[in-house]
Chain A
């Protein structure tokens, strides 16, 4: 919170020229990646896990630009599989029956989009259902 009571908001962004926060920790994305679950309900963003713990950031002091830099993190990687099994059954010389199973993403790996301002930066110890300790 600012001294006047307004909320300081931190956003993932790739835009140059914005103010950047100070780093006070090492931000990680422990809930995103292969084998991770999105959260309590993947169709309800309010129940998704926080992208990054907001406690890793702080507002820079007045007249200082902040030290977080650009592109300080790398988003979750993408692993996508497509498998297929097929067999041809021949009936005489003319007819052929093909049985084929196609599987898209057989391991059910999530495809995470790049982080943007709709993602949640919050203290993971705060309630997931209410935006988390005044931040979002």
Chain B
């Protein structure tokens, strides 16, 4: 935080990490049966 005091002690200086996973979908085909 751009200030001093207790607020900076409590809420300043955090490290943030982020992991993002992006996957495409699976191929899908279609069949049919007579039932």
Interface residues of A (CB under 8 A from B): 2, 6-15, 18-21, 27, 52, 57, 59, 66, 68-87, 89, 112, 114-115, 121
Contacts of A2 in B (CB 8 A): 34
Q: Is the interface of B mostly helix, strand, loop or mixed?
A: strand
Interface residue count for B (Cβ, 8 Å)?
24
Q: Are B32 and A77 in contact (CB under 8 A)?
A: no
Looking across the interface, which residue of chain A has its beta carbon closest to that of B31?
A: A18
The answer on a CB contact under 8 Å between A87 and B14 is yes
- Pairs A–B under 8 Å by Cβ, sample size 17: A2-B34, A6-B34, A9-B35, A12-B28, A15-B31, A18-B31, A57-B32, A71-B28, A72-B29, A73-B27, A75-B28, A77-B24, A81-B20, A84-B17, A85-B16, A87-B14, A87-B15
